[in-house]
Structures are given as C-alpha cells and as structure tokens.
Structure 1
Amino acid sequence: MNAEVLVFGGLAAVAANLPFMTDRIAGFYSSANGRKPFYCRLLEWLLLYVVLGGIAYWLEGRTSPVHPQQWPFYVTTLCLFLVFAWPGFVWRYFWRKPGI
C-alpha cells in the first residue's frame, strides 16, 4: 500500500505541473497564436485535479469501502495540488524569459 501511495503522489505532482510545461491545449491542440492563455492552464489544472480525484476514489474503492468526505477534505487536497503545481508555475512565469 505504501508504494501505491508514493506512486500516486508522484503522479499527482507530475499532473499538477503538466499545464505549465506545454503550450498545447489539453496536450493535443495548438492555440491560434502558439501561446496558451492562463485561463486555459487553470482549467486544465482543475480538470487534472478532478481526474486524479476520480482515480483516487476508484483506487480506494478497490481496497476498502470509500469513506464519505466533507468540504474540508476537498479544500485540503486542492491546496496540496496547488503546492504540487508551484514548480511548474515558477518555471513558466518567473524563470523563463518572455517570448520563449
């Protein structure tokens, strides 16, 4: 079980950074001017959060009964996903030179 948690945590860290690593929308479509706007990155990030939440729900259901959660759980996991996305955000908006 510990290995599964570590693999899922690594998957979450990679998924949180994906929207900031490419200028393709959803990883497939190029935007009109070649640069993806921030709201597209934010929507992709939220979509990946929901997808990973679904995977986590499915994995928990395979091993034990799923525990019902209240809103503080979802706020906490969203904030953790935000912390995971920080390196990608810094790389995209602070370290890279404009126009690259």
Structure 2
Amino acid sequence: MSTSVQIGFLVLLALLAANLPFINQRILVLGPQRSTKPLVWRLAELVVLYFVVGAIGLAFENHGGQIAPQGWEFYAITGTMFVTLAFPGFVYRYLMHRQH
C-alpha cells in the first residue's frame, strides 16, 4: 500500500471515528444500548477513538520506515483536527432541530 493511500485511509478512518460517538447510542460501539447517552460519555469515546486512530497511524508509519519524533505540537494539532472532524456529528446530535 502506497503512502498516499495510507494517508487517505487514515483521514477517512479519522472522519468516521470522530463522528461515531455522536451517531450511535452504544458505549464504545460494543456496549449496551442506551436510550440517551450523556455528552460526557461521547467526549470520553472521542478521546479513546483519537488514540485508536493515532495507534493505527503509528503502525502505518512504523511499517513505512522510521518513526519520526513528535512533540506536544503534533498532539495539539492532531487533537484539534480530530475535534474539527467530529463537528458534523455534534451538529447532527445536538444542534439540528427535529420535528416530532
């Protein structure tokens, strides 16, 4: 798999993982079904999924060669990017007014 395909796959995976807590009502996708899931659970899932996607990205980088050292700036930027990718799911869950 080429590097550009890996990057594209990782971005799509991050987009899916960032919106997953806002789409379903299960805890960590595998837990019990809940009628409503509090925002705290959704944010905790967002953090866990950030690290899962990061681990997959680290595995891709390790497979491709030497792992580049990352400082706090890397994690600050990727964290804010992950939260930005979660915006459509947040809008769907909390800001869209549905007619009943």
For residue 96 of structure 1, report the CA deviation from its aligned partner: 4.3
Q: Which runs of 5+ in 1 are unaligned?
A: none
* TM-score using structure 1 length: 0.91
Aligned residue runs from structure 1 range 1-100, under 5 A: 1-28=3-30, 29-31=32-34, 34-97=35-98
For residue 97 of structure 1, report the CA deviation from its aligned partner: 3.1
SS of the aligned residue for 1:97 comes to coil
- Aligned pair count reads 97
Q: Deviations over 1:13-69 (max 9, x none)?
A: 0100000001111112123xx110000000000000001111111110011110111
Give the AA of the match of 2:14. A
Alignment root-mean-square deviation, CA: 1.5
> Identity over the aligned pairs, expressed in percent?
36
Aligned counterparts of 2:20 and 2:97: Cα–Cα separation in 1: 16
Following superposition, which runs of at least 4 residues in structure 1 exceed 3 angstroms of deviation? none
Give the AA of the match of 2:33. S
Aligned counterparts of 1:96 and 1:14: Cα–Cα separation in 2: 23
Give the AA of the match of 1:30. Q
* TM-score using structure 2 length: 0.91
